[in-house]
Each structure stands twice: as C-alpha cells, then as structure tokens.
Structure 1
Amino acid sequence: MLAIIRDLFRFNKEFRFGFIVIIVIITLAILSFFSPYNPKAWNQVPKDKPPSFKYLLGTTSVGQDVFWTLCFALKNSLTLGMVTALISITIGTAVGLIAGYRGGILDRVLMSLNDTFIVLPSFPILIFLAFTLRENLNVVTLGAILSMFSWPWGGRQVRSMILSLREREFTYAADFSGMGMLKIVFTEHFPFVFPWVVANFINTILWSIGMEVSLAVFGLSSLEMPTIGTMIYWANQYQALFRGIWWWILTPVIASVFLFVSFFFVSSAISEYLDPRTRLQRISVRG
C-alpha cells in the first residue's frame, strides 16, 4: 500500500493535491486537542467579531471562536466518518468474502439480507432514528446507525470479486492442502480485494460526513457537538449570511468543499491506479 501511495504521489497531480489537503485537515483536527475553549460552551469570546490576528476566522453570534470550532468540527466529522467506514467495511467485506467463497444456501441467505438493506429507504429511516435518539446521539452512535445502510453495497462488490477468485488455481491448491474456509478467504483472497477496500473506505467516509451534514441541516444531529453540519446549522439559525457575518457560514462550507474534493481525488486516483487499463495508458504516455 505504501508503494501505491508513493507512485501516486509522484505521478498523479490530483492525488498529490488531495493528499496534501487531507494532511492539513487532519492537522487542524489534531489542533482541537490544544484548544483553550470548551467546544460546547457559548459566550466564551466577544460575539460577531470579523477575522483578525486574535480571532483568525472571526467569532460567532453565540460567542465561539470560529477557528477552534472548525478544528473540533473537523475532528468530530472525521471521527464519524472513520467509525462508519470501519463498521461498514468490516461487515461488508466479511459478508462478501464468505458469501462469495461459500456459495449455496449461505450465499443466498447473506445476499438476501444484503439486498434487503439495499432497498430500504435509508434517508427517511435515518431521519426517524436520529430524531428518536437525538438526546443520546454522539459520534459513535450516529456512525453505527449510518453503517447500517452503507455496508451492503461493499458486500455485494466484494462477493463479485470473490466469485472470480474462487475459480483460480491457487484457491483450489489452498483447498486441497487442507486450509479452512476462513483461512482461505482472509489470507488468500483478502489481499486481492484490499486496495478496493481502501478506496471504498474513503468513499464511505465521504458519504457518512455528507449524511451527517444533511441531518444537521434539519436539526437532527447532535447539535451541541461541533461538526461541519452543526456549524452550518447554527450559522443558518442565526442568519449569519443575511446579517453580514459571512465568515461564520463560509468557513464550514469552504472546509466541506476542500474535504470532499480532496477525499474524492484520493479515492479516484487509487481506483484509477488499480485499473490495469488506465495504468497501461499512463505508462505508455510516460514512455
């Protein structure tokens, strides 16, 4: 994987841009641990101050420093994305590996469960669950809820790859040597799907952050917890743009644009790198 990152950083401008932006975003998220302010407290600084040397990105109408709030928001949004992606990719990959290799009744049962979650109307259900659990909603809880609707797509894609891999000679050799099913799928097959898992992991992070922003706009996220979505929510609630407090609303919007674009570039570059056809085209162009 490190070799892939090294090659992409050298030869892919989009990946290089996205990777650098992601490092900056992660750095800002880490800075939240050194914040002098309580992220959930209001009236800690003068209200509605424009950007200055003292307040780099200005202050809000509720007395919060926009820069430090953004740092907390990035940390929480990234944590949400990581939790969702970890749960989703773990379940989806395990289901796809086992169903694809085993086949038969187990495959039909797992794929029926998989398809059931795919056809469920996710957003209305998410709205209902978020409203019901709003008082106890946190990053982990919301991530677990979102993962319910993101794992099936990965599970079906992994299964498709395993259906091809199980017909390869090395699979037959492993089977005849006495290796068990779990050992075969996780030691022989998983390395082939791992690069795809990485790309899908990134896409799931983006999807979960986008869903949290959508829920927060409706006031259905944990509103006292700083995230990209709740920053936009509170700025809208206090009509920041109409009152001329542009730095309050533009900061999370611009941050979300850079966040989505950078992750998209990285994910696209990895997917392109793993496609043999595009790799051959790049090699011929460089040649």
Structure 2
Amino acid sequence: MKTLRDLFRDYRFAVSFIVLLIIIILAFLSVFSPYDPTLWNVVPRDMKPSAEYWLGTDSNGQDIFWQATFAIRNSLIISLIAGLVSRVIAILVGMVAGYKGGATDRVLMFISDSLLVIPLFLVFVMLAMLVREHMNLVVLGLMLSLLTWPWDARLIRSMILSLREQEFTKTAILSGTGTVKLVLNEYMPFTMPLIFSTLINNIGFAIGLEITLAIIGLVDLMTPTLGTMLNWALFYQSTFLGRWWWVLTPVVLSNFLFIALYWQSVSISEYLDPRTRIQRVGA
C-alpha cells in the first residue's frame, strides 16, 4: 500500500491510472452490447453521432460505440497474452543466465543478442502471412510474444548478476537453500517492479504492432480491434468523405491508451530509480 501511495503522488501515474481504468470499463461494456460485432448492416449506415448512436455508425452498418468496446477488449486481450508470455520467457532466460553464468549465460545471451538485431517488423509480417488462415486473438498474441523478450531478459539478467554477489545469497547457499527456492523467495521480490514495468512497455508495444499488422490487412479483419477499426475506416476513405467520427474513434482511443501506458511505465521506472525516488517521496 505504501508503494501505491508513493506512486499516486506522481500526477502522471494518477492520471494514467484513471485513463486506463476508464478504458478497461469500456472493454467490460462489450458484454452488454445489443449487437453481434461480426455482423454488418445491423444499424443505418454512416449516421453522425447522436443520442441514439453516441459515436455514430460506419459504412458497414455497425454502431461505432459498441464496436469500440469490442475493439478495446480484443486489443487488450492480444496485448496481455503477448506481454505475459514474453514476461515468462524473459524471466526464465534472464534468471537462468544471471544465476548459472558460464556457458549457459553465454548461450542464452547469444540467442538474445541475435534476436535483438533481427528486424522485428519484417519477421512479424512473415509470421502473420504464414498463420493468416488460423489467425485469432490467441494466435496473434502468442506470435507477438515470440520476439519481444530479449531486451527485458538482459535487464533481468543484469539484476540477478548483482543480487548473486550480495551477502544474503551467499548466506542462503551456505544454509542449504535450493536454487528454485532462492530464486523465488529472494530474487523474485527484487525483480517484480522491473518485470511489471517491462510488462507495461510490452503491452503498449503489442498494441502498436497489432494496429500496424491490421492496417496492412494481415489479421482477421472480421474481429474488431483498434487496428481493424482503423483499417475499415481507411478502406472506406472515411476521412475524405467527412465521416470523421469513424476514423477518430480508434485513433483517439489508441493515443489515450499509448500515453497512459507510457506514463505508467515512466512513473514506475522513476520510482525504481533511487535518485528520483528520493525527490518524489521526500525521503
């Protein structure tokens, strides 16, 4: 609780927390949608925002407000799958490499460094083309998680290398503490803030990748996400035809989501830095 109180003293964390809470509430509202998000022509086409259609309707005959709730939900599902799976890989690689050292460390870091220099976007495009017929939320989330862990694994490894030299590690080893117990009980509490911070970064990165792949048509366009909403708006040239409400909805939601996630990440990262932490909490 003290950590949360300290974090909420930073206006960026407080504001971004409220924004993310509103976005999550919008995602939960999809449960109450009166429309099937995959069906077209369920409402009049190209209606401007009104009391009946809060964000208007699109050229597919869909209510944009309810489509947006599904889009937020699905984009969050994709990004959470990508973020959580990549965190598991990063934790395993980083902790094993940092604790074991030697040949194990060199092999794992060679793999990580090799993946860091690969042009990720081109790889994701090729992977999306290969699994396009089987594309769904889970497949897309897993695909985005495959290559987004190396840098975070290096960060975790660096922290483990430092912790391994501490006196409590030597004491635990001399007292007969097993490796798994040592890592889970002693190292994990130190690495959790870093893991959480990098998770937020990866969620934002995954959302951006999904939007990019959707715009170029490499995902299931019948499944509403922030990316597919933008794809359909561009396909029907909504900007040129004056249907601003259609293209503006996914753009505004995406920007709010990116900024909120960025502020969360920056705020947590600064809190973890002892120098800025002293200034913020007045220690």
3-state SS, counterpart of residue 241 of structure 2: coil
For 1:8 and 1:181, the matched residues in 2 are separated by 33
What displacement does 1:282 show? 2.5
What is the aligned partner in structure 1 of residue 141 from structure 2?
143
Aligned partner letter, 1:203: N
- Kept after mapping to 1: 8 A contact 2:82/2:141: yes
Deviations 1:29-72 (A, max 9, x none): 00001111111111110000000111000000000000000000
For 2:73 and 2:281, the matched residues in 1 are separated by 38
For 1:145 and 1:118, the matched residues in 2 are separated by 16
- Kept after mapping to 2: 8 A contact 1:69/1:226: yes
- Kept after mapping to 1: 8 A contact 2:23/2:72: yes
- Kept after mapping to 1: 8 A contact 2:75/2:207: yes
The alignment's TM-score, normalised by the length of structure 2, stands at: 0.97
What displacement does 1:279 show? 1.3
- Kept after mapping to 1: 8 A contact 2:82/2:203: yes
Deviations 1:152-206 (A, max 9, x none): 1111110011111100000001111111222212211111010011111100000
- Kept after mapping to 1: 8 A contact 2:10/2:280: no
Report matched runs for 1:1-287 at 5 Å: 2-9=1-8, 11-284=9-282
For 1:24 and 1:56, the matched residues in 2 are separated by 17
3-state SS, counterpart of residue 245 of structure 2: helix
What displacement does 1:3 show? 3.0
Deviations 1:196-255 (A, max 9, x none): 111111000000000011111111122111111110000000000111111000000000
What displacement does 1:116 show? 2.1
Query: How many residues are aligned here?
Result: 283
What displacement does 1:145 show? 0.9
- Kept after mapping to 2: 8 A contact 1:146/1:208: yes
For 1:133 and 1:101, the matched residues in 2 are separated by 36
- Kept after mapping to 2: 8 A contact 1:97/1:190: no
Gaps of 5+ in 2: none
3-state SS, counterpart of residue 68 of structure 1: helix
> Over aligned residue pairs, what C-alpha RMSD do you find?
1.1
- Kept after mapping to 1: 8 A contact 2:26/2:69: yes
- Kept after mapping to 2: 8 A contact 1:228/1:256: yes
- Kept after mapping to 1: 8 A contact 2:83/2:202: yes
- Kept after mapping to 2: 8 A contact 1:32/1:75: yes
For 1:235 and 1:4, the matched residues in 2 are separated by 42
- State the identity %: 50
For 1:133 and 1:3, the matched residues in 2 are separated by 46
Deviations 1:114-148 (A, max 9, x none): 22222222111111111221121111111111111
For 1:43 and 1:4, the matched residues in 2 are separated by 50
- Kept after mapping to 2: 8 A contact 1:46/1:59: yes
For 2:234 and 2:142, the matched residues in 1 are separated by 27
Which has the larger displacement, 192-201 or 108-117? 108-117
- Kept after mapping to 2: 8 A contact 1:122/1:149: yes
